[in-house]
Amino acid sequence: MAERRVTVGWAEGLHARPASIFVRAVTATGVPMTIAKEDGHPVNAGSMLGLLGLGAQGGDTVVLTSDADGADQALDRVAKLVQEGLDELPAA
């Protein structure tokens, strides 16, 4: 299972606009993955409701995981998005 631990770079955390950007980015990878707060319960990273339920704030550490084909590359791209608080998924 591939895993990435990253600090949430959006000051407002994974709420509203950043959560929408995140879900679109995860969906764009085509790779199923989960997200959890450190030592928390993982949720489907492509689910807006699941993501909002995490309550992840700016500066929190989150864990992204996947065991699908292409997981390493997809997790790297999404991790960069989260860590840097980007407005869109970085180019491949």
Catalytic residues: 15
Q: Residue 4's closest CA among 60, 70, 72?
A: 72
Residue type, position 82, single letter:
V
Half-sphere exposure of 10 (CA within 13 A, CB side): 23
